[in-house]
Chain A
Amino acid sequence: MAGGAGLCGLLGSALALAGFVGLVTGAKNFEDVRCKCICPPYKDHPGNIYNKNVSQKDCDCLHVVEPMPVPGPDVEAYCLRCECKYEERSSVTIKVTIIIYLSILGLLLLYMVYLTLVEPILKRRLFGHSQLIQSDEDIGDHQPFANAHDVLARSRSRANVLNKVEYAQQRWKLQVQEQRKSVFDRHVVLS
């Protein structure tokens, strides 16, 4: 089931992410650290921002601000005003996270499109006539899983592995349908 898989993916990747971070911080990517110095306007020099990849102990105005905009005697006064911050990030974590997120979102969207658009068409083709007769009211309310009851009953008569999957899916659909009823129609919870 896509949900289970998605969830496993989500939790697994979340835990993997946690482990991953340790790994990444161990082998630090050079682009992932910066020392950023913000220097406010001083005399007639405008404010400026300096940005450099240096190690944490070198992260001060003297190492980062290059070329020094002020002449020698003023350097100390100028540097006193600058604020240097050492920052690190993990671009790999960000990349992996965004890719995981987008792929789960994409899967869910595909599944959603399948459930709302494709499946009703397939159903109509497969079960065709009989379906239309017995679920007049179902068609009326445009619920994507409105015929879950029927399919559930049908799938339970047969029993093999494939049908178990289908059964699980139908059961889930039934649950969602009930949830939807209580949230959106009857407004008994979460209103």
Chain B
Amino acid sequence: MDVSSDPYLPYDGGGDNIPLRELHKRGTHYTMTNGGSINSSTHLLDLLDEPIPGVGTYDDFHTIDWVREKCKDRERHRRINSKKKESAWEMTKSLYDAWSGWLVVTLTGLASGALAGLIDIAADWMTDLKEGICLSALWFNHEQCCWGSNETTFEERDKCPQWKTWAELIIGQAEGPGSYIMNYIMYIFWALSFAFLAVSLVKIFAPYACGSGIPEIKTILSGFIIRGYLGKWTLLIKTITLVLAVASGLSLGKEGPLVHVACCCGNIFSYLFPKYSTNEAKKREVLSAASAAGVSVAFGAPIGGVLFSLEEVSYYFPLKTLWRSFFAALVAAFVLRSINPFGNSRLVLFYVEYHTPWYLFELFPFILLGVFGGLWGAFFIRANIAWCRRRKSTKFGKYPVLEVIIVAAITAVIAFPNPYTRLNTSELIKELFTDCGPLESSSLCDYRNDMNASKIVDDIPDRPAGTGVYSAIWQLCLALIFKIIMTVFTFGIKVPSGLFIPSMAIGAIAGRIVGIAVEQLAYYHHDWFIFKEWCEVGADCITPGLYAMVGAAACLGGVTRMTVSLVVIVFELTGGLEYIVPLMAAVMTSKWVGDAFGREGIYEAHIRLNGYPFLDAKEEFTHTTLAADVMRPRRSDPPLAVLTQDNMTVEDIENLINETSYNGFPVIMSKESQRLVGFALRRDLTIAIESARKKQEGIVGSSRVCFAQHTPSLPAESPRPLKLRSILDMSPFTVTDHTPMEIVVDIFRKLGLRQCLVTHNGIVLGIITKKNILEHLEQLKQHVEPLAPPWHYNKKRYPPSYGPDGKPRSRINNVQLKPIAEEREETEEEVHLLNSTTL
């Protein structure tokens, strides 16, 4: 992968001050236009010098340093607090600052709720556009068109004269094979044109708008920078194309992309508040809250959204963020509710209203559904990752538009003949979730009716299935196979595509089939001992809709490996407390079964496929390596590239920067003593030197660069020294070379470090970056642990540099002390993403 050759990808963060660098290869020719307001003076840095604009920002595809960002924020907070007393204006400013967190989540909630409403309404309308059009009011979808109509009948509820199918409009007949073919053709035509529009808009305007976005948001929240991923164009295009993609009938959902849309809103609004726009760590708090708002509007489940943010996407989730997420979810849900996009006074299409009880023996089929969900999840992850890897690595990935068109064509051609796949997926789920009351007339509820007329509506006993049910089951089986296959190929094509809805649909279909089977079993064999107690003749004991719900939760759990948040989401959909136990049982089973085949969920799998630098907090590190084994430089590498604190010239540093691609350099006292002084980032160095050359007089190539407190005495004729103490990080994280990697990994995870220096007796030996750790983890995964017996690890470990007797070995072998030869090697958080082919 040649990413490293060009790390300076352009910036489109959605703010006003967008920096642009000319894309000279890499080097000192910066044209910085950004960050005028960034004040980089932290307590880590020296306050004497003027802050240089741009110092303390990050490049594209780099990892942020959480510790540094948090310090920066605390410093800013202290500054505002100390000024507070000075004047009323400063007081107002501090109040504004204190409130800006709540303000930004409020705005985010408002915007994401409104956008979700827009997407819902537009997607419904466009989906129905494939069938026909409402002649009396073009902007109504099918259901709204027949809203006030009195011509609907009990059997054909969705027919009304205002709604015209395309066949009626074009060839003038509503029935017969001719009209069927005409409708078929129009269906395919619309599906193809929506898909084509979606993919070409994505390709031309915002390539980052494709996919579900959750893996990337997870990575971003863990501290990665992808410029433009949450920008305004991404938001615009994602919103517009999401509608098209859903309407094209592809096997995808809008829930995952809604999270991305909400995060874009959060990012854009955070630019209004300096507290968030200048601090990447604080911005991620807003994004956490935004993702909660996204799920809140996607499922109408505000609490589920907060838990989703906590369990699935967020990396750093303090209590304050929890409350803000809660509030953002509330605001978003409220806005969506007042838009009322489905006309049912609910937030989602497929809520459930029944409260029929369930019985203990039903846990068995529920657990079976859980097993199915786990198997489906494992299969889907394997198959989809294999397919995506193929797309990534072979030539086939070069034709994204063609791929989308082909997938859409196949989907449309196969989906139309089957009424269950022709439906919008959300509506399919709704139909599967619904219980068969006396009011239902669909073929799924075509039971043989032998109840006598005096019975009350609510309590319908189990009935034998009629022919309609049997044919519906066949169609559902076909729909299940079709959905399973198409979803594997659909997730990952270059249109906005979410996974929740298709997964839920698959689970709901399977669950409904199982439910009907159990129901019929109970009806025909009500004398079996398991049924005897609960299912007498004429009792209503099995609710197939409940099975569909449990199946949906199980399948979603199998794919995403969520547990708590998923149960809460589904529970909020249904509003029935009594179904929590079945849902928990099914979701837990599906997680166990899925984990047996592979521990990662689909999002982690995609993160790994793309090689994003994501340190998963859920994984345990069980190996026994030491910091010295992981640090760079390795033995075979050239020595570490370092700066000395006061005897390098500007030219030396520029050469070093041009010759290496490392993102930071340790600063040492001198070549002789090698003791650590601090750490300077490449980006800060280039910016500082560039700005010094422009603004300060007398800075030339031979000027000394001085990181020390006091300028060394120089010969009289030499040019003025350049003081760069202000960009030096005086408190870099260090570990000793014998620190176990367990601890290092933990430090990286918990503190969100970007790099860590390895020292021995205060002498810099090397550096460990997040990327080194990820590579190390990958290596360990591939080469299974050494063959030492397990008890070996329980004993006190002697690091490799100790002899068997526990005494220190002579240190000749160690990397670092190639005596005083010029050290110019240094690894740092490398620019490029991990090369996935090595993963």
Nearest-neighbour CB distance to chain B for A29, whole angstroms, equals 11
Contact of B114 among A15, A101, A182, A190 (CB under 8 A): A15
| Contact call B147/A25, Cβ cutoff below 8 A | no
Which of B115-123, B302-310, B368-376, B548-556 forms part of the interface with chain A? B115-123
CB within 8 Å for A175 and B111 given contacts A17-B117, A21-B339, A51-B148:
no
Q: Are A189 and B226 in contact (CB under 8 A)?
A: yes
Q: A80-B456, A95-B137 are in contact. Are A3 and B205 (CB under 8 A)?
A: yes
Q: Cβ of A90 < 8 Å from any Cβ of B?
A: yes
A38→B3 CA distance, assembly (Å): 62
Which residues of A in the span 115-146 have a Cβ within 8 Å of any Cβ on B? 115-116, 144
Contact of A171 among B10, B118, B208 (CB under 8 A): B10
A31 to B610, CA, bound (A): 52
Q: Are B118 and A17 in contact (CB under 8 A)?
A: yes
Decide: A81 and B457 in contact? CB cutoff 8 A: yes
Bound Cα distance A78, B113 (Å): 42
| Residues in chain B near residue A115, CB distance under 8 A | 204
Asked if B463 is at the interface of the complex by the 8 Å CB criterion, the answer is no
Please determine whether A98 and B139 come into contact, CB atoms closer than 8 angstroms: yes
Q: Are A87 and B207 in contact (CB under 8 A)?
A: no
**Is B174 interfacial (CB 8 A cutoff)?**
no
Q: For B400, what are the chain A residues with a Cβ–Cβ distance below 8 Å?
A: 184
Complex Cα spacing A109 to B201, Å: 8
Q: Mark B128-149, 1 if CB is under 8 A from A, else 0.
A: 0000000001111000100111
Smallest CB gap from B233: residue in A: A3
A57 within 8 Å of B by Cβ?
no
Complex Cα gap A99–B239 (Å): 15
Q: Does A55 contact B (CB under 8 A)?
A: no
Whole-angstrom distance between the Cβ of A114 and the nearest chain B Cβ: 10
Asked if A191 lies at the interface with its beta carbon under 8 angstroms from chain B, I say yes
Asked if A179 contacts B144 (CB within 8 A), the reply is: no
CB 8 Å contact bits of B215-241 with A (1 = contact, 0 = none): 010000000001110001101110110
Contact in complex: A10, B236 (CB < 8 Å): yes
B366 in contact (CB, < 8 A): no
B10 touches A87 (CB 8 A): no
Cβ distance A39 to chain B, nearest Cβ, rounded Å:
8
Give Cα A112–Cα B401 distance, bound, in whole angstroms.
15
- Which of chain B's residues has its CB closest to A96's CB? B139
**Which stretch from B391-399, B797-805, B810-818 is at the chain A interface?**
B391-399
Closest to B2 in A: A186
Given known A89-B340, A91-B137, A191-B388, contact A3–B232 (CB-CB < 8 A): yes
Which residues between 284 and 319 of chain B lie within 8 Å of chain A, taking CB atoms? Answer: none
How far does the alpha carbon of A182 sit from the alpha carbon of B340 in the complex, in Å?
39
Taking CB as reference atom, which chain B residue is nearest A180?
B207
Inter-subunit contact A171/B20 (CB<8 Å):
yes
With contact pairs A89-B340, A97-B121, A176-B233 given, residues A83 and B206 touching in the complex (Cβ less than 8 Å): no
B154 interface residue (CB < 8 Å to A): yes
- In the complex, what residues of B have CB within 8 A of residue A101's CB? 118, 121-122, 240, 243
* Docked complex Cα distance between A101 and B139 (Å): 11
B205 pairs with A108, CB closer than 8 A: yes
Taking a contact as CB atoms under 8 Å apart, the answer to whether A104 and B1 are in contact is no
The closest CB in chain B to the CB of A171 belongs to B20
Partner of B207, one of A25, A144, A149, A176: A176
Determine whether B150 belongs to the interface, using a CB cutoff of 8 Å to chain A: yes
Q: Does the CB pair B205–A17 fall under 8 Å? A: no
Within 8 A of A (CB), among B817-839: 832-833
| Number of A-B contacts defined by CB within 8 Å | 218
Q: Does A94 lie within 8 Å of B140, measured CB to CB?
A: yes
User: Taking the complex as formed, is B467 at the interface, i.e. its CB lies under 8 A from any CB of chain A?
Assistant: no
- Interface size range on A against B: 35 or more
Give Cα A98–Cα B388 distance, bound, in whole angstroms: 35
A18 interface neighbour in B9, B114, B239, Cβ under 8 Å: B114
Our pick among B140, B197, B228 for the contact of A179 (Cβ within 8 Å) is B228
For residue B204, which residues in chain A have a CB less than 8 angstroms away from its CB?
A: 112, 115-116, 144, 176
Which A residues are CB-close (under 8 A) to B111? Answer: 11, 14-15
Given known A-B contacts A190-B211, A190-B216, A88 and B12 have beta carbons under 8 A apart: no
**Minimum C-beta distance from A186 to chain B (A):** 7
Number of residues in B with C-beta < 8 Å to the partner? 90
A54 an interface residue at 8 Å Cβ cutoff? Answer: no
Q: Assess the B154–A46 pair: CB atoms within 8 A.
A: yes
Docked complex: A11-58 residues within 8 A CB-CB of B: 11, 13-15, 17-18, 21-22, 25, 31, 34, 38-43, 46-51, 53
Give chain A interface residues in 152-191, CB to chain B under 8 Å.
Answer: 171-172, 174-176, 178-180, 182-191
Within 8 A of A (CB), among B637-671: none
Closest partner residue, chain B, to A187 (CB atom): B392
Known A3-B233, A17-B339, A183-B494; judge A49-B157 contact (CB<8 A). yes
- Is B453 on the interface with A (CB-CB < 8 A)? yes
Cβ-defined contact, B439 with A7, below 8 A: no
Across the interface, which residues of B come within 8 angstroms of A71, CB to CB?
none
Residues of B within 8 A of A38 (CB): 154, 439
Report Cα–Cα, A48/B157, bound state, in Å: 10
Q: Are B110 and A15 in contact (CB under 8 A)?
A: yes
- Given A7-B235, A175-B228, A183-B494, verify A18-B110 contact (CB < 8 Å): yes
The winner among A21, A43, A98, A144 for most chain B CB atoms within 10 A is A98
Instruction: Select from chain B the residue with minimum beta-carbon distance to A98.
Output: B139
A25 shortest CB reach to chain B, Å = 7
Those of B221-272 within 8 Å (CB) of chain A: 226-228, 232-233, 235-237, 239-240, 243-244, 265, 268
**In the bound complex, how far is the Cα of B766 from the Cα of A119, in angstroms?**
53
A13 CA / B227 CA spacing, docked (Å)? 26
Instruction: Assess A22 versus B338: contact at CB under 8 Å? Given A14-B114, A87-B345, A187-B392.
Output: yes
Partner of A87, one of B3, B208, B335, B343: B343
**Distance of B174 from chain A, by nearest CB (Å):** 20
B152 within 8 Å of A by Cβ?
yes
A151 close to B (CB within 8 Å): no
Interchain CA distance A149-B21 in the complex, whole Å: 12
Give Cα A22–Cα B12 distance, bound, in whole angstroms.
Answer: 35
Check: B609 CB closer than 8 A to any chain A CB. yes
When distances are taken between beta carbons in the complex, the residues of chain B under 8 Å from A172 are 12, 233
Set of chain B residues within 8 Å of A174, measured between Cβ atoms? 10, 23
Q: Decide: A187 and B456 in contact? CB cutoff 8 A.
A: no
Contacts of B9 in A (CB 8 A): 178-179, 182
Chain B hits for A53, CB < 8 A: 148
| Inter-chain contact A89/B609, CB cutoff 8 Å | no
Contact: A25 with B439, CB < 8 Å?
no
- B153 contacts the other chain (CB 8 A): yes
**B764 adjacent to chain A (CB < 8 Å):** no
Contact at A77–B118, with CB atoms within 8 Å?
no
The smallest C-beta distance from B155 to any residue of chain A, in angstroms, reads 7
Contact B208 A190 (CB under 8 A): yes
Contact A190 B154 (CB under 8 A): no
Q: Are B113 and A100 in touch, CB under 8 angstroms?
A: no
CB-defined contacts of A144 to chain B, threshold 8 Å: 204
Complex CA–CA separation, A171 to B22 (angstroms): 10
Complex Cα gap A101–B129 (Å): 14
Q: How far is the CB of A188 from chain B (nearest CB, A)?
A: 5
Which chain B positions have C-beta within 8 A of A188? 1, 3, 610-611, 832-833
Q: Are B236 and A6 in contact (CB under 8 A)?
A: yes
Which 8 A-B pairs have CB atoms at the shortest separation, nearest pair first? A47-B154, A14-B114, A98-B139, A89-B343, A183-B207, A191-B392, A40-B438, A175-B10
Give me 18 A-to-B residue pairs in the complex whose CB atoms sit less than 8 angstroms apart, sorted by A's number: A3-B232, A14-B111, A15-B114, A18-B117, A49-B154, A83-B457, A89-B343, A95-B139, A98-B122, A98-B139, A108-B205, A109-B201, A144-B204, A185-B398, A186-B2, A186-B3, A188-B1, A190-B610
Q: Which of A's residues lie within 8 Å of B, judged by CB?
A: 3-4, 6-7, 10-11, 13-15, 17-18, 21-22, 25, 31, 34, 38-43, 46-51, 53, 77, 80-81, 83, 87-91, 93-95, 97-101, 104-105, 108-109, 112, 115-116, 144, 149, 171-172, 174-176, 178-180, 182-191
- Other A-B contacts than A10-B236, A93-B339, A105-B240, 6 sampled, CB-CB below 8 A, are A40-B439, A94-B144, A98-B122, A101-B122, A175-B228, A191-B397
